[in-house]
Structure 1
């Protein structure tokens, strides 16, 4: 019966996708709700997700991996929600571009894991996963093709733009590292490199890759509020990520040094995002909204 429900959920996602692509507002709502629903499910109910997708019993490491995936999706959903009222084409376009380009590695990783390990994973669970990821990816491709937003026309002056560039490099390196060397990432955290764990690490890395497109265009955002939302969404990811790790360390009775080793990869992201928020709070809104280092006509 559980298998049937998975296929029914996949069918409902397809129906919602068809209804959502009728206009821009419903497309954004579909994207936001689906991303938030999936992220919330992974973060709050990791045991259920592990059982449905991989058919395995409780495992603290797998629970941590699923919660990290949930944290990354909730961060994406939070940024989308905070920017719902934005009228800046660069903000809207960068969000759609980040998912249209960044979710491709997620789809490839999911397909590769399913094809290579078809006999050891749950077909209905991966069917639901592929449906969700494909729907989010395709919806944003459609948004880009139909709206054709003009992005990257202007770039703000100041230290905040430098912070965005450094964050871009940090997430790019972490994302590429997770996609290319998931076993090394698992080994660094003293976690056994299994097929499910490799897939979960690559999934988080793919979402980080999607964020680099927003970070690349973030210095072009006209309003300080939209730029602040980028930092806030990254801070949300780090906080949720670290809460999941602390819970894992508590369950495994890890020592202080091991706990620091687990949280270390996100500390730089947290520090840079905090600095960015602080610098934005000190900027003159009139100055930051009218001075740019470069511009070009539409």
Structure 2
């Protein structure tokens, strides 16, 4: 090999070493552990093949609930969070007084730690001293007050509202960036032709935001599958395992119940689901860049 062919690899080597040691090799080792029954302490591991995977899908009712909750979270994120982010972006893209301040206000929660948000919203949902129940009481809706995080029927949705408050800033900023790249010429031509505002939005804004939508949807999907900290901080997966998602159940199996093989199998399933989202996204973006 000549110096010309070796030099690029020398520049890539530091990043490649970090990637291999921090991500790739641990991921392979996790896949390896998913084939064993091991408590993480004993010196011997019992090879069980794919039994950990079959137990998850055939016998683990909490895993099924966690998978369902991830699906609910994903649908809520793609509809409510993305939709609200787009609506805020459209509003704050207009020439409003103080729009820069409002952009910062709506984006600020996104930079906060998930545990900080979880702690704050847990107090808001406090059944006796929380703001939510006190506000409902002030509005004469005492019959709506309840222990939001202690009821299996409402806990997941209450946590999602907190997550939506925190995460809405990301799609808003991405949509704002996309909106500011759209030229005004198509809108002026549509206005001359007598197009209504909703027609301009449907036939001009949405098509020209296609690339932005692709990024927002991909990041939202991946984020909804990896959600952990805010659920752990607000409910810990309870009550009655009603707010368990794949990541929280993986941590419980691995560190709480010392089922390293089962926890690794859940991690492998989570990686597989994320890859189903990431690979088409990378393929599409790569294909578009070579057109």
The TM-score bracket by the shorter chain reads: under 0.3
**Which of the pair has more CA radius of gyration?**
2
- TM-score w.r.t. structure 2 length? 0.26
Structure with the bigger RCO (C-alpha within 8 Å, sep 6+) is: 2
TM-score, normalised via structure 1 length:
0.26
Which has a greater percent of helix?
A: 1
